[in-house]
Amino acid sequence: RSGTLRRHAGRTAMTGGAPQPPSFAPEVHKGDIPKEYRLQRYYTAADIAGHNTAHNCWVSFFGRVYDLTPLLAEYKGPLAQPIIAAAGSDISFWFDEATGQPKMHLDPVTGMQEIYCPWGRYIHVPPQGPESDWATDFGTPWWEDTRYWIGLRSAATRKIGIVNLMTRQKNTLEVPVEETVAEIQQRYLVHNAHAGLASH
């Protein structure tokens, strides 16, 4: 990706670049790769909630939306389960807003500080103690990796009415407040395929 990351108040903003479609490792089976989709600037909570499986996994945190499907295609096993369980939801509570890193807490048994994993240890989180099979060569942890970033979570939504002027079919749609009329038309192409729209 082009662009640089700028972190402020726990949020990471992309400067000089834009989200790109997620890419999969060459060894990932083609059957595990979901259908390509058009990227949007903003996604609603409902948009995110529809991607809630291991083979189609979106999450959001601190206002950004991530497609973790390529990550899960590469990492099988128990460390993937908390992410799969969180698919389609906001996981900001997993992270420290001031740093953008996973939250830390004191383990009540050992008294040691460790990463807070509310639903169990997940991918790229180190084990509590030494483990011979713990790989440290993964590079950037997924929560910092911009290749999974696909857009922003809408701050609010609005409902609009759309009328197809050819068929007189009416639809009430929930859209991000940040979207333009052109983006709304693209988003709901299924409802305006004949390009005869009026909204109110």
Q: Is the dihedral of CA 110, 79, 25, 11 positive or negative?
A: negative
Alpha helices in 25-178, H assignment, sequence order: 45-49, 69-74, 81-86
135 — phi, psi (to 5°)?
-85, 130
Q: Give the CA distances from residue 39 to residues 51, 111, 129, 197, in Å, rounded to whole numbers and listed in that order.
A: 14, 45, 40, 22
**pLDDT category of residue 72 using cuts at 50, 70 and 90:** very high
Q: Over the stretch 110-157, which tens digit does the pLDDT of each residue have?
A: 888 899 999 999 999 988 766 666 676 678 999 999 999 999 999 999
**pLDDT category of residue 21 using cuts at 50, 70 and 90:** confident
Q: Quick one: what percent of the chain has pLDDT higher than 90?
A: 48
Entry pTM: 0.77
Alpha helices in the chain, H assignment, sequence order: 45-49, 69-74, 81-86, 181-187
Strand partners, 5: 14
| Other CB atoms within 10 A of residue 37 CB | 12
